[in-house]
Amino acid sequence: MNKPLPTTHPRLATGASRHLAMRASLATLGLIALLCLIGPLASGHPYDQVYRDYVLVRPSLFAHPDATETREALEGIARRMRVRVEALRQDGEVVHLAFSADRPIDTRALRAFERSDVFGPARIVETSDKGRRLSVDVPAKRTVFLFGTDTNGRDLFTRTLIAGRISLAVGLLASFLALTIGVAYGAVAGYAGGRIDALMMRIVEIVYALPFIFFVIVLVMVFGRHFVLIFIAIGAVEWLDMARIVRGQALSIKQRDFVAAAEALGASAPAILWRHVIPNAAGPIAAFLAVLVPRVILLESFVSFLGLGVQEPLTSWGVLVADGARNIQGSIHLLIFPALFLGATLGALQSLGNAWHGSPGAGHH
Amino acid sequence: MLRFFLSRVATAVPAFFIIVALAFFLMRLAPGGPFDTERALDPEIAKNLRHIYRLDLPLMQQFWLYLQSLAHGELGPSLHWRDFTVSELFAKALPISAALGAKAMLVAIIAGTALGLVGAMSKVRIGPHAVDGAAIFGIVLPIFVVAPLLQLGLGLTLHVLPVGGWNDGAWQNQVLPVTTLALPQIAIVARLMQAALIDALAMPHIRTLRAFGMPGYHIYVHALRAAFAPVVSYLGLAAGNVLTGSVVVETIFGIPGMGRYFVDGALGRDYTLVMGTVIVVAAAVLLFNLIVDLILAWLDPRVRYDSRPR
Amino acid sequence: MDAAAKPLLRVRDLRVSYGPASVVKGVSFTLRRGETAAIAGESGSGKTQTVLAALGLLPRQAVTTGLVIFEDTELLALSRRRLDALLGRRIAMVFQEPMSSLDPLFTVGAQIRAILRLKAGLSRRAAKARAKELLDLAGISEPGRRVHSYPHELSGGQRQRVAIAMAIACNPDLLIADEPTTALDVTVAARILELLAKLKQIFGMAMIFISHDLGLVRRIADSVHVMREGEIVEAGSAADVAANPRHEYTRMMLAAMPRAREHVRMETPVLLRAQNIGVRFSLRGGLLSGAREVKAVDGVSLCLGQGRTLGLVGESGSGKSTLARALLKLVPASGMLNFGGRDLTRLDRAAMRPLRRSMQLVSQDPYGSLSPLMRIGDIVTEGLRVHEPAMSRSAREARAALALEEVLLDPRLRFRFPHELSGGQRQRVAIARAMILKPRLVVLDEPTSALDRAVQIGILALLEDLQEAHSLTYVFISHDLAVIRAVADEIAVMKDGRIIEQGPAREIVERPHAPYTRALIAAALQTGET
């Protein structure tokens, strides 16, 4: 047959759904990125602040403390102050309290209220019975833990978003690193061809024989555990696929007549690589990038999950999921929220890559 | 075919040695040693320890000694579990990891191929998309999310299966780890199979068969054989992915396999243990890739003439 | 002759559309028993779609309407099963690409046997014997050994013979051949055509022959249907259509090459002298596996005077393109090379650079020779960026406009991208890119092969004008002897990396010595001429 069957038509049928998938993924990614960027500023909780009174709080839209939390916190403070709670009346934000003790109450002990996560500074309303009875007004803080708190009493919402920043940053930076190395290496190997190509690709094959998690772990072990080193380590292994793809492209682009024409014009090898080979490999490179970014994010969470990645109090989705997995009984929210964010990001990136590649069945280029 | 096999072996062996050398020197160049503990050791003791483990010899000599012992199948003493040699540790751990990985691969190949076939053969337009969509879930849900969820659902809530432990390989203990490990691979194999089959069915030689009015099963035999090539060549990568996954799965399910040793060894700077793991893993991956290449050559006669199939 | 009078196949108002795009628009024709009908048209004219639609072989998205009546059966109304029963047995097909139309993973014997067993109902043993007979019938030597071969172990011509053996396996009444010789070299193609004609005689088949080459079609078809944009624009007996084409499109397809160069040129000083040029490729450059060497060019010597044209003719794989690149020192070669009195043999890449502007290359594929992501203006001026790096952007633009004007293109095209241009326009851009450096020698590697005849003639005229104006020296490479004859002062015939015959153009064409040259001339000039 002198002309391939029209392949545009099957694509037309799925074009609409592809566009929809593409837009949905882009919207999801944009939303997650935006949340991670500005969310931590707006959440009102520093990512590393420990709320000792709110350990493993369940996710809720309502502000803490609730009645039981108020009472429990109060009882804790009273015990430490060695006083009895005589009366408790909550009036909106303010809690009216009356204490009694066998000995005069040391009002300095009231600072315990300030130090707690539940109340603000106490104001003495009245002292009686030679200081043995004390009535105070204490404002209750209003804190919201949208996603609950972790085992250390840190706000999971903030931590999830901060983790997102790290995961996304590692994903982008490591992908960029892999892109740079891979494109340069692959283009040179493919364009040079012959023995240089054989040698360069043999090196790739050898590094390939090590599953990348092992390579990353060895690298992390060698260079230590540091945020920057993680993405360098990941980028340093993930360029292999990129190099292979670009090399394959370069090999075929090299055969194209426009490269021969450029050589005949006397263009230098770097100029040919830069002007002809790399731009014409851009399509497959971009398509693979859409696969690479989620893979790198996943790899980072793998490494972090194993405790070899980002260190406390900084965190990434992998670390959070690992935490969640450890506390799965009783505190499932610790797993659900980070996993949801991670899954949504990976899914959106993946389907973006898919939409790029073309839908199944229309997969011939 | 024999020549092809030999040429593949000839490339795998040097690759193996380069990996050994790479891992060895990389690790020795790393700052920090195996005896860096919380509190500093007495310099005399540290010196003694270094002497016992021959860490005070010149690097090249250490490497040579290591290669010698490696030739005898010895991976040296573990620096962390000081009463054991690495080989002794692996004697118990390797069969467990191997069993886990092999079962996961088998499940992935069978289930993935079946799903891919169903998708490609489905008469409804939505068929391939359905398989594709389902596969995306399998691919993007990280193992370390799936594993705890399965533990919670089937173990803690329904009490059907044990949550962890190996229990000498009782099947109940294997179900969850194998499933977790296989899931992403099933998804990938299914997608690959489906795409390859759809592509194969559109190939000109399949159109030739159609033009001759050949029966459907005959056409599918031809298409399947063409479609298996990309799937089989993925399996080489899949071996690596399963190994990666098994590190996590073994950690989560508390299975005493190679992955655990590797992580512990890396954290504890146990050189010999990490080296041993790297060597065993590299050997396994190289061996598996060799098998994959042979299968590819058997599937596709053109490969046999080409010493480098990819 | 009663049976012969009754039509074997009637196609009435066949239409094919993909969504809103309609590719076949009401095609009707009739084929008698034993008749050979040709459907001729250029690529994209819908000729292949027509036959695929008639046999129900189009993908599911295609919508086919109309009537296709084979004997008394309406094919389009048949169930898949009943249609399959006809296909292969009564109607068989041979496709263009012999490489891809055979399954690369099965031996050719297995593929023929499958048809014999599943369609002709032969036993395993009978099929085995018959497969060898069929290969023998299709003109494959040593059929007993060849049944065990895989398609990639065969040459293009042999593969097409296998495909033909498969097609005649069940002794069909109708053979549809879709460009069966287009992918083959002319001499091979000629033998395949002979084979088809012979088999048609033996089996008494009717044949539908699809081709883009009206000259070729004329030789083997009884009737011709010329298709354009999904419609038959002209139909009639082959001789009639060829002798008095009524439609303009048919006339264009038949347009002939200009005859040989009339004026004889003066002997001029030698510009290019090559001695004993050899190029070797090692197949499989693995580090350890033993590399096999192939001599792509083997001891070629030639000598070319200033302002003259050397025509290099040979089939694909004869090494002529490699030789072209070796002459420009674009591939490493052994031997002696002298250009304009200067010895190039020992110059390396950097030392060659200043010389590059005097020796340029125009290559075959106008689709592949322009970087698809660059503007035409940037493509044309790429050489200036190399050789005159100091030139300002606006100066380059001005030069680009001039260069485009010189090849008779609208200078405003420089803002466009290659995919927006037609094949002929692209080839003119490629020529402009070479000319902008004012070269002395231009190597033209099949500059017209991918173009339609009418466009070819225009490009050849342009090349000749440029040669006159700038006293250019050409090495003109082509597989098409008709083109070579039109442009060359001297002709060199290449086969298997060697020049087997060389001399003044007229002498080679009129008095060829080597048998291969004679075969080439017989195959080529029989078709293209009126």
Q: Provide the b/e sequence for C501-529 (b: ≥16 CB within 10 Å).
A: bbeebbebbeebeeebbeebbebbeebbe
Residue C286 confidence (pLDDT): 42
Same domain as C345, residue C381 = no
| Cα angle value B198/B201/B207 (rounded, 5°) | 155
C347 and C429 share a domain?
Answer: no
- Is the residue at C191 inside a domain? yes
Query: Cβ distance C193 to C218 under 8 Å?
Result: no
How far, in Å, CA of A231 to CA of A80, rounded? 48
With an 8 Å Cβ cutoff, are A264 and C373 in contact? no
Contacts of residue C323, Cβ cutoff 8 Å, sequence gap at least 6: C277, C279, C297, C300, C312, C494
- The span from the CA of C321 to the CA of C332, in Å, is 14
Q: Residues of C numbered 453-482 whose beta carbons fall under 8 angstroms of chain A's beta carbons: which are they?
A: none
Domain B86-306 has CATH 2.40.50.140: no
Taking 3-state DSSP, the helix, strand and coil percentages for chain C, each rounded to the nearest 5, stand at 40, 25, 35
pLDDT per position as a tens digit, C92-136 = 888 877 777 888 888 888 999 998 888 888 888 988 888 888 888
Q: Which residue has the tokens 């919201």?
A: A144
More confident residue, A331 or B107: B107
Q: Which residue has the higher pLDDT, B85 or A226?
A: B85
The reply to whether B18 touches chain C by the CB within 8 Å rule is no
- pLDDT tens-digit profile of A106-151? 777 777 777 777 777 777 777 777 777 778 877 777 777 778 777 7
Neighbours of chain C (3+ CB pairs under 8 A): A, B
A346/B188 Cα distance (integer angstroms): 15
Phi, psi of C134 (to 5 degrees): -65, -45
In a mutational test of the C interface, the residue from B126, B205, B219 whose CB has the highest number of chain C CBs within 10 Å is B205
User: What does the pLDDT read at residue C369?
Assistant: 80
Mean pLDDT taken over chain B: 79
Q: Tell whether C345 and C416 lie within a shared domain.
A: no
Output the CA angle B202-B203-B207, nearest 5 degrees.
80
Exposure class string for A262-271: b at 16+ Cβ within 10 A, else e: bbbbbbeeee
Q: Does B309 touch chain A (CB under 8 A)?
A: no
CATH number of the domain residue C301 falls in: 3.40.50.300
B124 band by pLDDT with thresholds 50, 70 and 90: low
DSSP state of B221: H
Q: Which of A206, A221, A322 sits opposite B266 (nearest CB)?
A: A221
Nearest to B140 among A212, A217, A294 (CB): A294
According to the model, what pLDDT value does residue A12 have?
Answer: 34
Residue C97: closest C-alpha in chain B:
B204
Residue-wise pLDDT tens digits, A47-72: 777 777 777 777 777 777 777 777 77
- CB spacing of C356 vs A265 below 8 angstroms: yes
Tell whether C309 and C226 lie within a shared domain: no
Domain's final residue, options C254, C287, C305: C254
The verdict on residue C395 lying in a domain is yes
Do C158 and C235 share a domain, yes or no? yes
Task: State whether C292 and C330 are in the same domain.
Answer: yes
pLDDT digits (tens, 9 = 90+) for C51-87: 888 888 888 788 888 888 888 888 888 888 888 888 8
- Share the mean pLDDT of chain A: 77
In DSSP terms, which residues pair with A126 in a beta bridge?
A135
- The pLDDT, as a whole number, for residue B37 is 54
Integer Cα distance of C319 and C99 in angstroms: 21
Q: Does C95 contact B214 at a Cβ distance shorter than 8 Å?
A: no
> How many Å lie between the alpha carbon of C234 and the closest alpha carbon of chain B?
28
Instruction: Kindly state whether residue C70 falls inside one of the protein's structural domains.
Output: no
Q: Nearest residue of A to residue B11 by CA position?
A: A202
Last residue of a domain, one of C438, C453, C469: C438
Q: In chain B, positions 150-209, which contact chain C (CB-CB < 8 Å)?
A: 202-209
Q: Pick the residue from chain B with its C-alpha nearest to A293.
A: B140
Q: Does B217 touch chain C (CB under 8 A)?
A: no
The tokens 């996590």 sit on which residue? B248
Please check whether residue C11 lies inside any domain of the structure. Answer: no
CB B269 within 8 A of CB B282: no
- Neighbors of chain B by Cβ distance (3+ pairs < 8 Å): A, C
- CB distance from B144 to chain A under 8 Å? yes
For residue A173, the model assigns a pLDDT of: 87
> How much is the pLDDT for C292?
60
Q: Which of C389, C418, C438 is the last residue of a domain?
A: C438
Cβ pair C95:B11 closer than 8 A: no
Domain that holds residue C162: 34-45+80-254
C339: β partners: C272, C342
| Beta carbons of C385 and C437 less than 8 angstroms apart | no
Q: How many domains does chain C have?
A: 3
To the nearest whole percent, how much of chain B has pLDDT over 70?
90
Chain B residues near residue C97 by CB distance under 8 angstroms: 204
Q: Which of the residues B121, B140, B141, B280 would you substitute to probe the A interface, choosing the one with the greatest number of A C-beta atoms within 10 Å?
A: B140
Encoded tokens for B199: 């592509």
Peptide bond into A65 cis (omega under 30): yes
Residues of chain C with pLDDT below 70 are 1-5, 255-266, 282-292, 366, 450, 525-530
Structure tokens at C204: 């008494």
Residue C250 and residue C235 in contact, taking contact as beta carbons nearer than 8 Å: no
- Tell me which of B106 and C287 has the higher pLDDT: B106
Identify the three-state secondary structure at position C514. coil
pLDDT (tens digit per residue) in A199-230:
888 888 777 776 666 676 777 666 666 777 77
Asked whether the beta carbons of residue B205 and residue C104 sit closer than 8 angstroms, the reply is: yes
Closest Cα partner for A127 from A107, A108, A109?
A107
CA-to-CA dists, residue A142 to A139, A206, A244, B9, B175, angstroms: 9, 58, 56, 69, 47
Taking contacts as CB-CB distances below 8 angstroms, the residues of chain A near B199 are 363-364
Residues C204 and C236 both lie in one domain: yes
Q: Do B307 and C106 touch (CB under 8 A)?
A: no
A300-314, B185-199, C25-39, C472-486: which has the minimum mean pLDDT?
A300-314
- Interface A–C counts its CB contacts (< 8 A) at 111
Mean pLDDT over A35-43 rounds to 79
Look at phi and psi of residue C471 and say left if phi exceeds 0, alpha if psi is from -120 to 50, else beta. left
Q: Chain C closest CA to B301's CA: distance in Å?
A: 6
Q: Would C20 be classed as within a structural domain?
A: no
Q: What is the pLDDT of residues A320-349, one digit of tens each?
A: 887 887 777 777 788 888 888 888 888 888
**Where is pLDDT greater, at A288 or B160?**
A288
pLDDT given for residue A16 in this prediction: 62
Count contacts between B and C (CB, < 8 Å): 89
Instruction: Look at residue B107 in the predicted model and tell me its pLDDT.
Output: 93
In this predicted structure, what is the pLDDT of residue A211? 67
Is residue B264 pLDDT above 50, yes or no? yes
CB B99 within 8 A of CB B256: no
Q: What pTM does this model have?
A: 0.75
Alpha-carbon distance of B138 to B182, in angstroms, equals 10
* C184 domain residue, yes or no: yes
- Residue C368 at interface with chain A, using a CB cutoff of 8 Å: yes
Which of the residue ranges A178-182, B262-266, C14-18, C161-165 would you say has the lowest mean pLDDT?
B262-266
Domain-embedded: residue C26: no
- Look at residue C23 and tell me if it is in a domain: no
